[in-house]
Amino acid sequence: MKPDWWPGEDHATFTEWALSQGVVTNGVTPARFSGRGLGMITTRNITSGETLLRVPVNVMLTADHIPSSFIEKFPEDIGVQTLFAAFLTHGTTEYLAEYEPWRKCWPSRRDFEDGMPILWPAALGGPKWPGNGDDDDAQQDQAGGLPNSLPPCISGLWNSFQKTPTKEYETYHQNLLAQQVQRLRKAWTDVVSVFPDTDWNTFSYHWLIVNTRSFYWVGPDQDTPEDRNDAMALVPFADYFNHSDVACDVEFDDDGYLFRASKNYEPGEEVFMSYGSHPNDFLFAEYGFFLDENGSDTVYLDDIIFRDINRPQLRDELWENQYYGNYQVTLHGACYRTEVAACLKYMNEEDWRNHVLEGSSQGLDENKSEATIKDWIQNYAMEAEMAIATLQAAMETNTVVREHRSKAEMLLRRWQQIKDLCGHAAQAVSV
Ligand SMILES: C[S@@+](CC[C@H](N)C(=O)[O-])C[C@H]1O[C@@H](n2cnc3c(N)ncnc32)[C@H](O)[C@@H]1O
């Protein structure tokens, strides 16, 4: 009898194919996990340090494996993600047939539509795409002016206040959706310039496959590309690993990828790898899921702080002293950059500069700093409360939201996490 985690025939066929191509598995096999699709399960006791999986480079889909006749159709600066997605969409059967057993094991476009805000309806904060423009307008109307429901790190938007304009600066893990949309729009423009008949659904599906399943890779004769997104490869079989902080060890060299156990496992445990120390909003936007417990979770106070510190002179102080933006809040409180910004609210500028540059405590009042930071965090918590209340009401009354109930529930879970994070952080902020 098959175990209840048995992944199904397609995965069994793909596993056979992978082994015949030189993939070596050692005590792990693909399995179905509730809420995570496929993942990797142990089939026996495993000791920390044991090799679990080896994927040789010849099985991987790297830029070197794409025929030069295909690559030459595109301008030289084409992004690697676009190239892969274009190849999966338009590559000749001769080349693509090879990967057929693997492709049959990928999630469907419908799976992406369920979890990824980039494909969500406008009523839930999704962007406009070819083919959904009209529907989207209709949805927006039906939404009856539903306020933005995605978390601010994803949408870059707030319902409880108006954002003030800022200088352009590099943000980490903020405005995620706009950046992702920009990347996909550019990819779409590039692909239709070469293949005008490209089907949007097929191409965007492949682009998301690459987005959610690629590994860092720089070929033996390649220089490290300027854009990290261009250092990528698809690694069959290894792309079964789901993400967790408690992860196996991953190594790669010119020969391929190697995965080792970083702890002992009993049979039947899921083996995870780490996709990086990403906050939940990043996982949500880029991969369509987020963790219940995430040691790397964080939200950013930038828009709240810039609304509060809006005198150009004060903002210049932050800019000139390299404290402009990226004000982080975690379960454990606010980061040092936030503390520095908080002092600027009540210190005179000279005292503030001496404090920041030389560590002087002249004019510093830790009670005032604490109250300011708590107030900023409270503003974030209020945004979360508003979003939760609005979403709950929309789930009862709004037809589009009711049709997309599981997405709204996912959003509610994330907003509740944000509210809880703010609650913990506010408590942790103390003199
Ligand atoms: C590299 S694939 C992993 C295999 C994938 N679960 C599958 O069914 O093919 C990455 C995708 O797996 C899912 N995923 C990864 N880690 C997860 C986790 N901890 N919880 C839920 N879903 C996860 C997300 O949909 C993500 O986009």
Q: How much of the chain is helix, strand and coil, in % rounded to 5?
A: 50, 10, 40
- Phi/psi of residue 118, nearest 5 degrees: -65, -20
Q: How far is the CA of 94 from the centre of ligand 1 (A)?
A: 29
Cβ atoms of residues 303 and 329 within 8 Å? no
Q: Which of 186, 201, 232 is the last residue of a domain?
A: 232
Tally of CA atoms within 13 A in the half-sphere of 359 that contains its CB: 0
Query: Using CA positions, which residue lies closest to atom 9 of ligand 1?
Result: 38
Q: How far is the CA of 2 from the centre of ligand 1 (A)?
A: 23
Query: Do 85 and 224 have their domain in common?
Result: yes
Tokens 């069959």 appear where?
236
Kindly report the CATH number assigned to the domain that includes residue 27.
2.170.270.10
Q: How far apart are the first and last CA of the chain?
A: 61
Q: For residue 224, count other CB atoms closer than 10 A to its CB.
A: 8
Query: Do 73 and 204 have their domain in common?
Result: yes
Residue 383 lies in a domain: yes
Q: Which of 323, 328, 275, 321 lies closest to 300 in space, CA to CA?
A: 328
Q: How far is the CA of 306 from the centre of ligand 1 (A)?
A: 36
Q: Which of 195, 215, 232 is the last residue of a domain?
A: 232
- ipTM score: 1.00
Residue 44 lies in a domain: yes
Q: For residue 10, count other CB atoms closer than 10 A to its CB.
A: 14
In the numeric block, which tokens belong to residue 20?
């015949």
Query: Do 335 and 424 have their domain in common?
Result: yes
Query: Do 197 and 68 have their domain in common?
Result: yes
How much is the pLDDT for 145? 57
In the numeric block, which tokens belong to residue 163?
């954002």
Strand partners, 249: 260
Q: Which of 417, 309, 418 lies closest to 373 in space, CA to CA?
A: 309
- 3-state class (DSSP) for residue 282: helix
Q: How far is the CA of 251 from the centre of ligand 1 (A)?
A: 20
Residue 92 lies in a domain: yes
Query: Using CA positions, which residue lies closest to atom 20 of ligand 1?
Result: 36
Residue 1 lies in a domain: no
Query: Using CA positions, which residue lies closest to atom 10 of ligand 1?
Result: 212
Q: Which atom of ligand 1 is nearest to the CA of 111?
A: 25
pLDDT in tens, the chain (431 residues): 899 999 999 999 999 999 999 999 999 999 999 999 999 999 999 999 999 999 999 999 999 999 999 999 999 889 999 999 999 999 988 889 999 999 999 999 999 999 999 999 999 999 999 877 544 444 444 445 578 899 999 999 999 999 999 999 999 899 999 999 999 999 999 999 999 999 999 999 999 999 999 999 998 888 898 888 889 999 999 999 999 998 999 999 999 999 999 999 999 999 999 999 999 999 999 999 999 999 999 999 999 999 999 999 999 999 999 999 999 999 999 999 999 999 999 999 999 999 999 999 999 999 999 999 999 999 999 999 999 999 999 999 999 999 999 999 999 999 999 999 999 999 999 75
Residue 221 lies in a domain: yes
Query: Do 19 and 38 have their domain in common?
Result: yes
Distances (CA, A) of 102 to 95, 195, 218, 361: 13, 25, 22, 61
Total domains in the chain come to 3
Query: Do 220 and 268 have their domain in common?
Result: no
What is the crossing angle of helices 280-287 and 176-194, to 10°?
20
Tally of CA atoms within 13 A in the half-sphere of 373 that contains its CB: 33
Percent of the chain clearing pLDDT 90 (strictly above):
89
Measured between alpha carbons, how far is 27 from 50 in angstroms, rounded to an integer? 9
Query: Do 315 and 228 have their domain in common?
Result: no
Q: How far is the CA of 357 from the centre of ligand 1 (A)?
A: 45
Query: Using CA positions, which residue lies closest to atom 27 of ligand 1?
Result: 287
Distances (CA, A) of 62 to 16, 80, 275: 22, 9, 19
Cβ atoms of residues 249 and 260 within 8 Å? yes
Query: Do 50 and 153 have their domain in common?
Result: no
Strands (E), 9-109: 24-25, 28-33, 37-42, 51-56
What is the crossing angle of helices 312-320 and 336-344, to 10°?
140
Query: Do 54 and 128 have their domain in common?
Result: no
In the numeric block, which tokens belong to residue 422?
């703010």
Q: How far is the CA of 330 from the centre of ligand 1 (A)?
A: 24
Q: For 245-303, how does the pLDDT look when each residue is reduced to its tens digit (9 = 90+)?
A: 989 999 999 999 999 999 999 999 999 999 999 999 999 999 999 999 999 999 999 99
Query: Do 273 and 352 have their domain in common?
Result: no
Q: Which of 273, 243, 245 lies closest to 259 in space, CA to CA?
A: 273
DSSP 8-state class, residue 290: -
Q: Which atom of ligand 1 is nearest to the CA of 239?
A: 1
Q: For 71-113, how does the pLDDT look when each residue is reduced to its tens digit (9 = 90+)?
A: 999 998 899 999 999 999 999 888 899 999 999 999 999 999 9
Angle (CA) 82-173-400 rounded to 5° is 75
How much is the pLDDT for 219? 85
Query: Do 220 and 333 have their domain in common?
Result: no
Show the ligand 1 pocket: residues with CB < 6 angstroms. 35-39, 107, 115, 212-213, 239-240, 242-244, 287-289, 291
Q: What is the residue range of 308's domain?
A: 299-428
Q: Which of 287, 321, 355 is the last residue of a domain?
A: 287
Q: Which of 345, 286, 316, 311 lies closest to 153 in space, CA to CA?
A: 286
Instruction: Report the side by side order of strands in the sheet with 333-334.
Output: 299-300, 328-330, 333-334
Residue 218 lies in a domain: yes
**Which runs of consecutive H residues, i.e. helices, occur in 91-151?**
93-96, 100-103, 109-115, 133-143
Q: Which of 38, 275, 287 should be mutated for ligand 1, with most atoms under 8 A from CB? A: 287
Burial class (CB in 10 A: 0-12, 13-18, 19+), 220: exposed
Query: Do 187 and 261 have their domain in common?
Result: no
How much is the pLDDT for 223? 85
Residue 265 lies in a domain: yes
Q: How far is the CA of 37 from the centre of ligand 1 (A)?
A: 6
In the numeric block, which tokens belong to residue 109?
């476009």
Measured between alpha carbons, how far is 422 from 414 in angstroms, rounded to an integer? 12
Residue 2 lies in a domain: no
